[in-house]
Structure 1
Amino acid sequence: MAQMFQALSSVLLPVVIVAGLGALLASQMRIDQLTIARLSMYLLIPALVLDVILRTPVHAAEAGQLGVAFLLVMGLSLLLGWLTGLGRPDAERRSLSAGAGIWNSGNMGLPIALFVFGEGGFDRATVVFLVSIVAMYIVGPALYGSASGPDQRSGPRGILRSIFRLPTVWVALVALILRLLNVPVPQGVTRGVSLLAQATLPLVLLSLGLQLGAGGWPPLNRRVWLASAARLIGGPLIALGVGRLVGLQGQSLAVLILSASMPTAVNALLIAQEYGGDAGTVSGVVLVTTLGSVLTIAAVVALLPGLG
């Protein structure tokens, strides 16, 4: 258990340092947060998706089952977050739903899965991550219901336009086709993509810090705490039920549960900023779940061997 806490601190400490520097910077000067968020969303995150798909071995036999299970867990988590916002303004309710239903299966989920399960678990966690990052950029526009900018439109047509103008979806499709057809990609291209991918996490964390620094301490009201509990406690419980339902066993089931115990993704904040959500509420859930996950993830890891 002591080793688990040490591993978590080694993952969380860099998060706190980078986000803290962003908060310090935003408290001293005015910074265009929307531009930084869009740089991440439209350039760096697509590069990360392309880099991961091209480099990481994906096991097709389990990928479909894990992907379906993840999407079911995500849908139920979004619903649980929505219920925590009943009676609240629409923007806040949607942001609470995003806070509970969009979690950090990447920069936290992947290293923790590697530490707990080794290479086999890491490969399965990578499948979950790939599904999650594409789903995130489909669910986000659909949840907030309109595209950003002066030509905002709601309804099915506006939602579809919002989804399909995001390069992450298209990049993922192209990368999967390249992998399936075994098309070689020039080394110079892959190295350029990898450089962009390496810049993704620092800039995303800086966005969180900039939001905290410019807006002050986020609102930690009762709804934020409820959505945080839905993420950290409800998430793994939902994953356990869904995993059993779809027939996952052993390490695949454990990886799904561990992924669903991760804190709210900082990318949820980027989506809220882009699509007119309540960024303050999302940043509050990100903060509470990131700090609280030190205890809850350790508890989940300690209970996983009991699954048999």
Structure 2
Amino acid sequence: MSGFIFIFMNVILPIGIIVSVGYVVQLKYRLDRGTLAKLAIHYVMPAFIFMSLYESDIDFSLLFKIILFLGLYAFVTFVITRFIAKFIGLDKGQSILFTNSNLFYNAGNYGVPVNDLVFRSDPYAMSVQVIMVVFQNMLAYSYGIFSLSAENSGRARAMLGYFRMPIFYGLALGLIFNYFEIGVPAPVGSALDYMRNAMIGLVLFILGAQIAGIKFRRLRFSAFTASLTRLVIGPAVAFMMLLLFGVEGITAQAILITSAMPAAVNSSIIAQQYSDDPEYAAEIVMMSTLLSTVTVSLVIYVALHMF
């Protein structure tokens, strides 16, 4: 019990404080959330991803295995959540939102700070986290939009849009510079370090501001079910798969902890543009984020003691 309390006080509570600041500031000053998101996506995240990968001791065969694992985990999650959605009688539109909220977990705004605090800025642990962030972004802005949009032109535009994002090039260049051991000039490295160091506080603030901007009028039982599926069944499935495939150490710990993250705000943002019931996605994001303060602490405890 003391271990759980320690994790909650030293990992979850500091994150909650910054998110709360962003929430309150957004309610008071009505900041432009689009501009905040662009600041994260086009400024600090590319630098953070590049430097995390550049400084990591990456096993590229392991990198490929992580991608395969995440793809299989997404498929298993898809099958389970579709079954649950059908079992509780959701219509087609809600079933897609129910599934998406479980496929798209908050590996970035929430998962990265948790990883940084749990593993004490370990470069290898963060490189695993970065891979999960990029995988989640690609999945959300490809299948996430495909599943809700009937327009083929919108799908193609979404894919092309991803490859125009600086995050993609931060990933690609980080891997290239690492693999070929290309040096970064000292002034450039210092500038990227300053940008990277701004990432944790900024993305948590933005997460709070995004949550403050979500509007809904009710809380449905199926949204509560979706939240518990994301927070309990999600990490349980990941735990069993990690044991089945023999994944161990920091890799297993980072994957399991991130699999316990709440539904991503991206799922709500996508739903606002492409769904007839965006409030349903917002309910799941809000509820899962609140409940995660307890469940994520438990999963961190399990991850650190079982792997």
Scaled by the length of structure 2, the TM-score of the pair is: 0.78
Q: How many percent of aligned residue pairs carry the same amino acid?
A: 20
Q: Which residue of the partner structure matches residue 101 of structure 2?
A: 99
Contact 1:227 1:285 in 2 (8 A): yes
Q: CA deviation at 1:26?
A: 2.4
What amino acid sits opposite 1:241 in the alignment?
Answer: M
Q: Which residue of the partner structure matches residue 50 of structure 2?
A: 50
Q: Which residue of the partner structure matches residue 39 of structure 1?
A: 39
CA distance in 1, matches of 2:132, 2:53: 13
Q: Which residue of the partner structure matches residue 27 of structure 1?
A: 27
Q: How does 1:197-216 map to 2 (within 5 A)?
A: 197-215=196-214
Change (3 A) 1:100 1:83: same
1:135-193 residue CA offsets vs partner (Å, 9 max, x unmatched): 122112113427xxxx99324x2332132122212221111011100000012112212
Q: Which residue of the partner structure matches residue 291 of structure 2?
A: 292
Q: CA deviation at 1:260?
A: 1.8
Contact 2:22 2:208 in 1 (8 A): yes
The number of equivalent residue pairs is 295
Q: CA deviation at 1:97?
A: 3.5
CA distance in 2, matches of 1:292, 1:71: 26
Q: Which residue of the partner structure matches residue 221 of structure 1?
A: 220
Secondary structure at the aligned position of 1:259 is classed as: helix
What amino acid sits opposite 2:5 in the alignment?
Answer: F
Q: How does 1:97-246 map to 2 (within 5 A)?
A: 97-101=99-103, 102-104=105-107, 105-112=111-118, 114=119, 125-145=125-145, 153-155=153-155, 157-215=156-214, 219-246=218-245
Q: CA deviation at 1:304?
A: 5.4
CA distance in 2, matches of 1:180, 1:126: 17
Contact 1:4 1:298 in 2 (8 A): yes
CA distance in 2, matches of 1:57, 1:218: 48
How large is the RMSD of aligned CA atoms in angstroms?
A: 3.4
> Could you list the runs of 5+ residues in structure 1 that have no partner in the other structure?
none
CA distance in 1, matches of 2:243, 2:295: 21
1:4-44 residue CA offsets vs partner (Å, 9 max, x unmatched): 32222322223222222222222223322112112212322
